[in-house]
Amino acid sequence: MLTITRKLEFDAGHRIPDHNSQCRNLHGHRYALHITLTGALVEQDGRSDKGMIMDFSDIKALANQHLVEQWDHAFLVYENDLTVRQFLDSLPEHKTVVLDRVPTVENLAQIAFERLKVVFRDEAGLSLVKVTLYETPNCWAEVTDGASV
């Protein structure tokens, strides 16, 4: 199987409300998102993406539109973290993203995979094989599509 991977980065804040360490405090990360796709090579003569699964700039544009722009420089907060949500709501025009699960790197990777799988299938006819989300250079989560691997 031939795959391609595009890396994008964004900054976001979060907290893990019930965690027994420093992660229960408000803090942020420089996340690195790796998007791995598979599909047929473009073979049509005259196309600028001939010989590619998808142009890397197109991957970036779709990922930015459907995920990265919403999360970049936002605070990602769990919907049941009411104390922090109330505080964030008090800040005028604050960029807050309310999530249906605790914003661990594992959950964020799953959300990213769920969103992007549909985008790349519907808009480009490709299969999303894997999403890897780095919270730090040493800590990350991966979500794979078992059918594609």
- Under 8 Å between Cβ of 10 and 29: no
Q: Where are the beta strands (DSSP E) in 64-121?
A: 74-78, 96-99
CA distance 129 to 126: 9
CA distance 107 to 72: 17
Which of the residues 23, 34, 106, 142 is marked catalytic? 23
Written in H, E and C, the secondary structure of 9-43 is: EEEEEECCCCCCCHHHCCEEEEEEEEEEEECCCCC
Question: Collapsing DSSP states into helix, strand and coil, what is residue 98?
Answer: strand
DSSP-derived secondary structure for 94-120: --EEEESS---HHHHHHHHHHHHHHHH
Which of the residues 19, 27, 73, 94 is marked catalytic? 73
Catalytic: 23?
yes
Catalytic: 9?
no
Catalytic: 73?
yes
* Phi, psi (rounded to 5 degrees) for 120: -75, -30
- Catalogue the active-site residues: 23, 73, 135
